[in-house]
Structure formats: structure tokens, C-alpha cells
Amino acid sequence: MKLSTIHWRGTTAAARIEGERAIVLERFADVGDVLRAGAPSAVRAIEGPVIDRDAVDHAPLILAPSKIVCVGLNYRAHILEMKRDLPEYPVLFAKFADTLAAAGEDIALPAESPEIDWEGELAVVIGSTVRRASAEQAEDAIAGYTIANDVSMRDWQFRTREWLQGKIWERSTPLGPVLATPDEIPTDARMTTTVDGVQKQIGDIHDLVHGPVDLVRYVSTITTLRPGDVILTGTPGGVGHARDPREHLASGSAVEVTIDGIGTLRNRFVAEGS
């Protein structure tokens, strides 16, 4: 099953995606609302207005997660290109809900940062409340997966040893377009990122130092994870910052992140204020 959050009649609503149509679930404001209601499986049978999938205007998949936890240096290829050692423990940082943007949304390039980079990522969406989860509990708590682009202002990120200031720019992290339940994800699923049609990243989403279940276990040891919370699992090799010469996004750049079984997250980048 695939779920999305869309703009609908002046507000937002969750929608069930079936092929080339979207069934609007008007009683739910977003996918997070579906998960907090404990109703992900129940919405398979709910009917509502039907619109063409091409006419969908996406909102951020989860409007107000209580937590967005991000993992750095989690793909072996990316770790090597950044010239770092494999981490024994997950490298964690956080984002705020204000950072989230929608699939298809124009993302502003702030004038304060000329070094803006792409990072395609698999994102885990939590479906039930867990604390100090066992492996089985952690697996059961995963409602599904979506796509994120952890857009990074590299000059700000590396001003200090803490990355936070390069990762939390407002409306900079697109999330979507759908939540795909775990059964939708093939065992050989790959992620690719293209910039203006040129492939920049490719990676096996299962080739993580710390996989989704391990991450849910680890993070839930520290803090309670709740329905609608999101974990970004890290990015594979091919980011602009690690290229020689380095590459950065410019006004007009179009970035597509595709993961098998989920779909494609597309966004255009424009100079702020244009």
C-alpha cells in the first residue's frame, strides 16, 4: 500500500495511491494522522473522492513529526569518499518539522550559502510507539518507507564540528511523495539521484552500516519514537561536496531521487525570492 499527503480543498488530506489514481481520505489531515490513529491497514478499505494521480498536489508526507532523526555516514561508499572510518555507532543529528518540504515543491536556495548539496536518502516512518525496542518490536514499529533529500548547506555544516546548522534550513528537506509499506520494497531495491538528468548517486538501500531495524532499536533506546516520526538513514556516495572539483546546486537545478518500490521525489531549486 502507498499513502500520500496532498493539498485538498484549501487544507491537506491523506490519500491512498492505487496505480494512476488517488483516493482522498478526507478524515485524515496527513499520513501522520493515519498512523497516530492506528489505522494504516484499515484505510485500505476506506473510499473517498478519486482524483487522477497526475493532478495530485503533494504536501510534505508528515506535517508535524515529533522527531526527525538523521543518520550520517551510513553507506560504506559515502563513508569512504568522505575519507572517514566506518562508525561503530550511528552518527545521529536531528532536524525540525520546519525543514520539511513536499515532493514537487520548489526549494529555495538561500543567498547566505553558495555551497548547497544534494543527498538522496531512504527514510523510515514509524507507525507505533516504541521505547527500548527489541529487534522484533523495532521491525513491527516501521510503518513503511519514503524518500528524503537531505539538502545540506555545506559551508555552514562544516563551520564547526557539529553539523546541525548546515542541516536545518527552513523548508529545505523534501519528503515524499508516498509512504510505501514494507511489502512494497523489493529485496534488491536501489536508490539513484540525478541532477539535471545526470546520475550522481546510486546505491543498494540494504547496504547500510546500520539498517532500519537497528536504527529503530538504537534511537528508541535514547528516546521514545512515536507514530509519524521519521528516521533518515543516510546517503550513498556521489554527493557534490566529495567531487573534484566540488559541485553545488544552482538556481534552476532539478533533482530527482528514485527508490525502487517507492517512486521518485522530484524538486526544482530556485534562488530565494525568485
Same domain as 151, residue 239: yes
Range(s) of the domain holding residue 219: 62-271
Boundary residue ending a domain (59, 79, 100): 59
Residue 141 and residue 235 in one domain: yes
Residues 80 and 45 both lie in one domain: no
Q: How long is the chain?
A: 274
Residue 74 parent element (H or E): none
Q: Are residues 16 and 99 in the same domain?
A: no
Identify whether residues 67 and 187 lie together within a single domain.
yes
Q: Is the pLDDT of residue 155 over 80?
A: yes
Question: Which letter, b or e, does each residue of 216-227 get, where b requires 16 or more Cβ atoms within 10 Å of its Cβ?
Answer: bbbbbeeeebbb
Say whether both 116 and 231 belong to one domain: yes
Three-class secondary structure of residue 212 per DSSP? helix
pLDDT at 262: 98
Tell me, yes or no, whether 37 and 110 share the same domain: no
Taking only the tens place, the pLDDT of each residue in 183-234 is 999 999 999 999 999 999 999 999 899 999 999 999 999 999 999 999 999 9
Q: What is the pLDDT of residues 127-148, one digit of tens each?
A: 999 999 999 999 999 999 999 9
| 214 and 191 fall within a common domain | yes
148 and 27, same domain (yes or no) = no
Closest by alpha carbon to 191, among 120, 127, 244, 136?
A: 120
Query: Quick one: how far is CA 195 from the chain centroid?
Result: 17
φ and ψ of 44, to 5 deg: -60, -30
41 band by pLDDT with thresholds 50, 70 and 90: confident
Range in 27-31, 71-75, 152-156 the model is least confident about: 71-75
Q: In total, how many domains does the chain have?
A: 2
**Segment 73-110, tens digit of pLDDT:** 899 877 777 777 888 999 999 999 999 999 999 999 99
The pairing of beta strand 91-95 with beta strand 68-72: antiparallel
Torsion of CA 127, 129, 133, 134, to 10 degrees: -50
pLDDT digits (tens, 9 = 90+) for 48-68: 999 999 999 999 999 999 999
User: CATH number, domain at 267?
Assistant: 3.90.850.10
Last residue of a domain, one of 11, 39, 59: 59
Q: What does pTM read for this prediction?
A: 0.96
Question: Which residues neighbour 3 within 8 Å (Cβ) at sequence distance 6 or greater?
Answer: 14, 15, 16, 17, 31, 34, 40, 43, 144, 178, 179
- 108 and 130 in a single domain? The answer is yes
- Domain termination residue (choose one: 39, 59, 79): 59
Which pLDDT value is given to residue 76?
80
* Nearest in space to 142 (alpha carbons), one of 62, 34, 236, 228: 228
DSSP state of 43: G
